[in-house]
Structure formats: structure tokens, C-alpha cells
């Protein structure tokens, strides 16, 4: 379906990546957890095959969320490495988890007259004013990783990132299989940053699937996507509930914090209390391979090359798809042990 004449251009590369990723996600969505995205196994954990264009005449401002998790660290490294390869001048800022810092950065990018702004919104809402300022200044905006929620049209050119609802659904499907014979399952949920797209969507996806009344979410609280947050919230959960069967953590880091709390309380994580998480970063995969975590849904942080390819297309005045979904899969304990040696993050 891709226009043959455009094949060598950056836009074709982006479209191809987008189409492949979308097709991958669509195909995988029908596959059961554990085999989800089975055909994409080779691609999992590695950056998609993208040719990074020469952007040496441009400046890009990138406003990052912070450094809250292993996922974020890998994402930052991917973006910085791809920018270097593209030869682009990258103005990188770290908002330390605060929306106001991100808004401030974006305003500075506009003042500095950058050619393109990319950012991963800390939370979904509250972006209209600053993005309208960018639009008025004629600076294209690309969302990476997280989406925004706005009534306003045309605030950004494209959104590159995962399907978080799908991730929550895959976690839920594994829970249904794992507890197929159980009479009653007490679940505690460690939510991501309140108001962020991944926290909202993963919670929704999980609930789309785990509908049977045998399953009860007895407690749900944010651990802010950090290991420390996951540990503290899990300690509190363990103090007020004596019969927890399962932890659903919105990311690996909170799951790793929960493991510490579970062990300190005298239980065996992965056995006495099962754990399902999202991300599949290195430390999470190790805990999965050694049995402390039971199942992980992947969320690929290696968005740098695709972001540079998209920037190339946008700056060349070419059309890009409004939504580009990244290819992902799921991991069982055995699959984690197999995948770990080749894992890039
Ligand atoms: O899952 C979490 C990080 O937005 C997909 O943010 C990202 C999430 C990721 O802190 O670990």
C-alpha cells in the first residue's frame, strides 16, 4: 500500500514503520498472552529498523518527563543517541515529573525558535495554552510515549507510542489464565503517575478484561512509577490486607519495589503473591527470569530512531500518520530467561 515512488524518502520509512507497527499490534491483539506478538519476537527489545535522516541543519527541543524508572532512562538514552546520529542540535530538558517544568521548557523552546518540539507529556490534560502558542509560532509538535487529552484540534502533528489500553488488557488476559481455577482472587494495583496516559489506560485495559466477579481489586493506589513508591504503597497494602493473591503494577519498577515489601513481610514474591507488570526493562526481566515476577507486558522505550525519522519527514514538509503505534509483546518466565542475553534495555 505504500507509494512506491516515495519508498526511499523519510516519509515512506515512517509510514512503513507505522504500518508495520500498527499491523503488529493489531495481529498481536488477538493472540493470547505469552504468544502475543509471537511473530515479532525478533523485533522485541530492539529498535525498529529505521534509517535515521541527516538533520544537521535543525534544532529540536525535547521535554522529557524525568528519570523516574528504568524505562525512562532507556527512553532518554535512545532519544539522545538517535539525535546524535542524526546530527541534530538537541535541546534536552528534564521536567522532574512536574508538568509546570515541561510547560516552561516548551515556552523556552518557542522563544529559542527551535524547528520542532517533541515531548512526553507528564499528564494528559492542561496542554492547550502552551501548544496553541507553539502552533501560532509555526513550530510542529510531536508527542512521544504519552498522549494528551484535549478538545482542541491540530495541537500536534503525530503521536508516537504504545497502546497502553492494550498493555493493560494483555496483563488482564494473563490473570484470567493464571487464575482460571480460583474461586476468589484478591488483587492490589500499583498505579502509575496520577493523570498520566499510561496510568489511565493501563487501569482501563485491565478492567476491560478482568470483569468476572471472582476477581476483586481490593486496593489501588499510585506509586508514581518509581521503585520507592511501589515499595511504600505495597507495605501499606500488606499491613491492611492479609490475603493478597496478586499485584498488578503499572510498571516494572513499582513491581520491583513491591517485591522488597513482600519479602520483608515474610512472603515469597511470585509464589505466595503473584506479580504482573508492564515495561520489560532489564531489572524487571531478571526478576521475571528468577521467578519473583510472573508475567510482563512489554512497553518499548527505544523511540529515538523513529522520532528522528518522523522529525525528518515533518521538517521536509511531508505528511505523517497521526498515530504511530510501537510493536510490543509479552513475556513469560521462560521467555524472559531466553530473551535476557540479547536485551538492549
Ligand atoms: O511504563 C514507566 C515510565 O510512559 C510508557 O513511564 C511510559 C511509562 C513507563 O515511568 O516505567
Q: Judge whether 1 lies within some domain.
A: no
Whether residue 27 is contained in a domain is answered as yes
136 inside domain: yes
Ligand 1 binding pocket includes 68 (Cβ within 6 Å): yes
CA angle centred on 25, ends 22 and 27, rounded to 5°: 105
SS3 of the chain: CCCHHHCCCHHHHHHHHHHHHHHHHHHHHCCCCCCCCHHHCCCCCCCCCCCCCCCCCCEEEEEECCCCCHHHHHHHHHHHHHHHHHCCEEEEEECCCCHHHHHHHHHHHHHHCCCEEEECCCCCCCCHHHHHHHHHCCCCEEEECCCCCCCCCCCCCEEEECCHHHHHHHHHHHHHHHCCCCCCEEEEEEECCCCCHHHHHHHHHHHHHCCCCCEEEEEEEECCCCHHHHHHHHHHHHHHCCCCCEEEECCHHHHHHHHHHHHHCCCCECCCEEEEEEECCHHHHHHHHCCCCCEEEECCCCCHHHHHHHHHHHHCCCCCCCEEECCCCEECHHHHHHHHHHCCC
Residue 105 and residue 92: Cα distance in Å, rounded?
A: 9
Same domain, yes or no, for 111 and 174? Answer: no
Which cell goes with 23? Answer: 499491523
Determine the pLDDT at residue 33: 52
Residues 220 and 311 grouped into a single domain: no
| Shared-domain flag, residues 291 and 307 | no
Asked if residue 251 has its Cβ within 6 Å of ligand 1, the reply is yes
Share the mean pLDDT of the chain: 89
128 and 143 belong to one structural domain: yes
pLDDT classification of 49: cutoffs 50, 70, 90: confident
Residue 299, ligand 1, Cβ within 6 A: yes
In 3D space, the residue among 146, 14, 127, 15 whose CA is nearest the CA of residue 75 turns out to be 146
The reported pLDDT for the residue numbered 43 is 39
Domain assignment present for residue 170? The answer is yes
Do the Cβ atoms of 262 and 234 come closer than 8 Å? yes
CA 326 to each of CA 162, 239, 298: distance values in angstroms, whole numbers, following the listed order: 5, 39, 10
235 falls within a domain: yes
| pLDDT over 90 (residue 233) | yes
Banded pLDDT at 283 (limits 50, 70, 90):
very high
pLDDT attached to residue 46: 52
pLDDT band at 213 (very low <50, low <70, confident <90, very high): very high
The verdict on the CB of residue 146 being under 6 Å from ligand 1 is yes
Last residue in a domain, options 281, 298, 315: 298
Interval 287-306 mean pLDDT: 97
Cell of 61: 527541543
pLDDT value of position 50 = 86
Considering the domain architecture, whether residues 306 and 269 belong to the same structural domain is answered as no
138 and 196 together in one domain: no
Q: What is the pLDDT of residues 135-157, one digit of tens each?
A: 999 999 999 999 999 999 999 99
| 323: containing domain | 7-162+300-342
**Do residues 194 and 125 share a domain?**
no
Confidence of residue 13 (pLDDT cuts 50, 70, 90): very low
By most ligand atoms within 8 Å of CB, the mutation choice from 70, 71, 78 for ligand 1 is 71
Q: Is 238 exposed, middle or buried (0-12, 13-18, 19+ CB in 10 A)?
A: buried
Residue 2 has pLDDT above 80, yes or no: no
Q: What is the CATH number of the domain that holds 32?
A: 3.40.50.2300
C-alpha 198 to ligand 1 mean position (Å) = 7
The verdict on 290 and 178 lying in the same domain is yes
Do 149 and 33 have their domain in common? yes
**2 is a domain residue:** no
Distance, in Å, from the CA atom of 138 to the CA atom of 314, rounded to the nearest integer, reads 12
For residue 272, is it within any domain?
Answer: yes
Using alpha carbons, select from 161, 132, 133 the residue that is nearest to residue 147: 161
Ligand 1 atom at shortest distance from the alpha carbon of 278: 1
- 141 and 204 in a single domain? The answer is no
Question: Percent of the chain beyond pLDDT 90?
Answer: 84
Q: Is the CB of 275 under 6 A from ligand 1?
A: no
Same domain, residue pair 69 and 151? yes
Percentage of the chain surpassing pLDDT 70? Answer: 86
- Between 253 and 46, the more confident residue is 253
> Are 76 and 126 in a shared domain?
yes
Report the domain count for the chain. 2
Task: Answer whether 69 contacts ligand 1 (Cβ < 6 A).
Answer: yes
Q: Which three three-digit cell numbers place residue 179?
A: 487464575
Say how many Å lie between the CA of residue 131 and the centre of ligand 1.
22
Amino acid at each position: 500500500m505504500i507509494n512506491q515512488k516515495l519508498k526511499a524518502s523519510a516519509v515512506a520509512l515512517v509510514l512503513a514503520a507505522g504500518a508495520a507497527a500498527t499491523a503488529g499490534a493489531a495481529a498481536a491483539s488477538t493472540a493470547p498472552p505469552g504468544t502475543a506478538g509471537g511473530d515479532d519476537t525478533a523485533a522485541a527489545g530492539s529498535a525498529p529498523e529505521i534509517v535515521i535522516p541527516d538533520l544537521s541543519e535543525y534544532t529540536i527541543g525535547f521535554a522529557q518527563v524525568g528519570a523516574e524508572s528504568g524505562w525512562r532512562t532507556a527512553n532518554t538514552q535512545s532519544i539522545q543517541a538517535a539525535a546524535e546520529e542524526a546530527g541534530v542540535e538537541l535541546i534536552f530538558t528534564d521536567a522532574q515529573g512536574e508538568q509546570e517544568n515541561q510547560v516552561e521548557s516548551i515556552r523556552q523552546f518557542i522563544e529559542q525558535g527551535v524547528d520542532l518540539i517533541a515531548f512526553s507529556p507528564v499528564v494528559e490534560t492542561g496542554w492547550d495554552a502552551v501548544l496553541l502558542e507553539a502552533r501560532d509560532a509555526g513550530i510542529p509538535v510531536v508527542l512521544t510515549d504519552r498522549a494528551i487529552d484535549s478538545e482542541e484540534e491540530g495541537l500536534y502533528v503525530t503521536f508516537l507510542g504504545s497502546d497502553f489500553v492494550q498493555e493493560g488488557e494483555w496483563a488482564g488476559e494473563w490473570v484470567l489464565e493464571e487464575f482460571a481455577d480460583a474461586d476468589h482472587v484478591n488483587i492490589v494495583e500499583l498505579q502509575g503517575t496520577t493523570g498520566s496516559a499510561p496510568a489511565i489506560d493501563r487501569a482501563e485495559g485491565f478492567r476491560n478484561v478482568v470483569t468476572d466477579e471472582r476477581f476483586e481489586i481490593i486496593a489501588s493506589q499510585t506509586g508514581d512509577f518509581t521503585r520507592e513508591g511501589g515499595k511504600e504503597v505495597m507495605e501499606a497494602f500488606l499491613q491492611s490486607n492479609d490475603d493478597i493473591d496478586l499485584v498488578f503494577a503499572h510498571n516494572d519498577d513499582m513491581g520491583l519495589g513491591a517485591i522488597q515489601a513482600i519479602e520483608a513481610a515474610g512472603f515469597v514474591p511470585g509464589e505466595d503473591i503473584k506479580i504482573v507488570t508492564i515495561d520489560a526493562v532489564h531489572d524487571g526481566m531478571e526478576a521475571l527470569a528468577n521467578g519473583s515476577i510472573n508475567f510482563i507486558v512489554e512497553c518499548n522505550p527505544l523511540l529515538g530512531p523513529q522520532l528522528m525519522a518522523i522529525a525528518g519527514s515533518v521538517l521536509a514538509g511531508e505528511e505523517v500518520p497521526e498515530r504511530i503505534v510501537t510493536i510490543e509483546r509479552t513475556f513469560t518466565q521462560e521467555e524472559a530467561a531466553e530473551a535476557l542475553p540479547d536485551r538492549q534495555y
